[in-house]
Amino acid sequence: MAAQKSPKEDPVKEVKSIAKNIIDGLFDNLMEKNVLNGEELNRLAKRVNVIVNTTENLVEDITEKTQKTGKIFMDFFLNHKKQLSLKSHSESDDDDASEKNSESSSEEEDENQDSEPEENAASAQALALPSTVPLILQEADNELKLCPPDHFQQMKRKKANQIYSVMEKEGRTRLALIICNKEFDHLTTRAGAEIDIMSMQYLLENLGYLVVVKQNLTAQEMEIELKQFAARPEHKSSDSTFLVFMSHGILDGICGKSYSSQQRDILKDDTIFQIFNNRNCQNLKDKPKVIIMQACRGEGTGFVWMADMGADSASSLQTTQHPIQSDAITKTHVEKDFIAFKASTPHNISLRCETNGSLFISRLVSYFKKYSCYCHLEKVFRKVQHSFETPAEWTQMPTIERVTLTRYFYLFPGN
């Protein structure tokens, strides 16, 4: 005789039970880490209890309930910021990344077509997980999104003359270099720099690069490492490279570990570009060379106060005109296929938090994970810039510089 089936559980009770277990665990963690005290916990519990006890219509209005829950959590944390112990530095924190997907009407038509899958995916994601849900509940969605193989093959066929060639995984030997200076002889320690290393290394490895990490170098040692990296034979069977620099910095360049007011231990931008140009690094000829720089470029805050209808106060910058030399008539350009993305504009600071790493690297990694599956590199960079568009108490504006890319560079993660 078949065993008698137990009566079917009330789905509303099941939902309540699941919600209660999740909330209990969350509150325990908040109490253990001294984020909430008893009085605050009771006040928050009353709010959450309203939601848990009104789940009868959950199936019909799940989106509304999710948003309501998120708003309560966000209101609570924002109204009790002083209970949180986050210590920031002169490369500070506050990674408040509310994603904005509006695109410029000047985008090329083919780019708009490419972005359709991305926009559809973003819309679906927005329905499933409202932006008001606390960050701790969104971590599961923070993995690198892979490019579908059929889209990869379609792009290779349709845009062969518009995009940089992507080598097949079999036999491909992509390399990336991270140079991070955290400890200095005369400057302050860059607390949180290890978070940036882990984030960038994890991202680049998932994009198919073997990552070389070097730390705490003088400018001369950085130059030696760059030359050795440029000479590696693996570049011949690679289709691109990433060079990531994280350090203190000034307008003239990246600070080496021995920098002081008396000793100008600086790695200049020109040195990097010269080492990897087509004259000195032929194995990377016609291949994208992406330079990421996380460093201050001065001590300015990067914003000014202006009246809404005020006169234009921006200064006019003169573009340096270099004389044409013999390089211009050779069969290949000396400097080509570069792009540099820097954490801030000239003369201004970059922000870093000792617990979360730098704001620029954190947001850059996040946007690569979300958008590199369908967007080319410059488009991802523009999205990062757009996220910094509205100045906060501390602000910075990442800057795309020295671009000589002649095609679109797609990473096609997973392919």
45/23 Cα distance (integer angstroms): 9
Domain 141-301+333-401, second-level architecture: 3-Layer(aba) Sandwich (3.40)
One-character DSSP codes across 21-83: HHHHHHHHHHHHTTSS-HHHHHHHHHHHHHHHTTGGGTTTSHHHHHHHHHHHHHHHHHHTGGG
386/152 Cα distance (integer angstroms): 26
Higher-confidence position of 268 and 74: 268
Residues 335-350: pLDDT tens digits? 999 999 998 877 566 6
Average pLDDT, the chain: 75
Q: What is the pLDDT of residue 354?
A: 74
Predicted confidence band at 84 (pLDDT cuts at 50, 70, 90)?
very low
Q: What is the pLDDT of residue 413?
A: 98
144/366 Cα distance (integer angstroms): 8
E strands in 134-240: 175-180, 210-215
pLDDT above 50 (res 330): no
- Mean pLDDT for the stretch of residues 56-73: 50
Task: Please identify every residue annotated as catalytic.
Answer: 248, 296
Tokens of 267: 């790695």
Residue 210 forms beta bridges with which residues?
175
- Mean pLDDT for the stretch of residues 32-52: 63
181/203 Cα distance (integer angstroms): 19
Residues 127-177: pLDDT tens digits? 333 333 344 334 445 799 999 999 999 999 999 999 999 999 999 999 999
Higher-confidence position of 190 and 110: 190
Predicted confidence band at 1 (pLDDT cuts at 50, 70, 90)?
very low
Sequence ranges of the domains in the chain: 11-85, 141-301+333-401
Cα 365 to the center of its chain, rounded Å: 3
